[in-house]
Amino acid sequence: MKETNSKVFWGYLILVFVAAVTSVAGIYIGNKVKEAEKPPQIVIQPPELPSQYPDWDAIKGKNPDTKILVARFTSECPSGGCVNHKPATVEFDGIHKKYEVKGKFSRAYLYIEATVDYQRPLTVWDDFYFKVNGLGGHLIDDKNLLPVPPSGISRLLYDLRSISYFPTIRDKEKNTNKQLDISLFALLQNGIILDITAAISSDRPGRTMKEVSIYYECFEGSDCSIQEKR
């Protein structure tokens, strides 16, 4: 009798085990069938939007245009920039250099990074002074400025074909003799010598020029350059 009960118990146990394995296998196969019946997942890539800063990207972005060259006026400044601890009303200094132009150009930009009070961006009470071969002066921050990413310092990017300025500080104070959309790009002619002065005009100390440069691209087939004259 005991032997019969033992056989029944083991038979029942085996039946339960087989049933459990069959159930798990059925669920697994059922899930695989359902996954196979699902339509394939389509990953939709968001459309690539045009850059908000195309000119900035061309010269300073993550993938700048390798055809664009640079004449950097601040190349001899320390890593933190050229600093003047006095207001411009006490000492109007800046950088004064000469450059020789060779070849033919397809485009050119004036790019400036500057601060006052050592670390603050320029305000409406300040301006940047840029003069080349008698053209230029106190630059006007108007529609001529090209868009650049936000920053804690002043970043000014100009199309060299369209620069607006006041020739003197008196003109600026009186808001007279405003020169609009003047092309400095026209000065980039083979054999021309550029006589350039760059400075920060501000009554506050800590005037810092971090970068002042002309970024340029040669016309197709031309070996152009803007080289400093020593």
Residue 22, Ramachandran bin (φ over 0: left; ψ between -120 and 50: alpha; else beta) = alpha
In this prediction, residue 49 carries a pLDDT of: 62
Q: What is the pLDDT of residue 13?
A: 52
Helix/strand/coil for 178: coil
Let me know: does 78 contact 211? Beta carbons within 8 Å: no
State the sign of the Cα–Cα–Cα–Cα dihedral 136, 139, 143, 148.
positive
In angstroms and rounded to an integer, the radius of gyration of the C-alpha atoms of the chain is: 35
Provide mean pLDDT across the span 71-99: 94
Q: How confident is the model at residue 5 (pLDDT cuts 50, 70, 90)?
A: low
Q: Are 208 and 88 in contact (CB under 8 A)?
A: no
| Residue 25, pLDDT above cutoff 60 | no
- d(C-alpha 65, C-alpha 48), whole Å: 19
Mean pLDDT over each residue of the chain, to the nearest integer: 86
Q: What's the pTM?
A: 0.78
pLDDT for residue 215: 98
Q: What pLDDT band is residue 93 in, cutting at 50, 70 and 90?
A: confident
pLDDT for res 230? 82
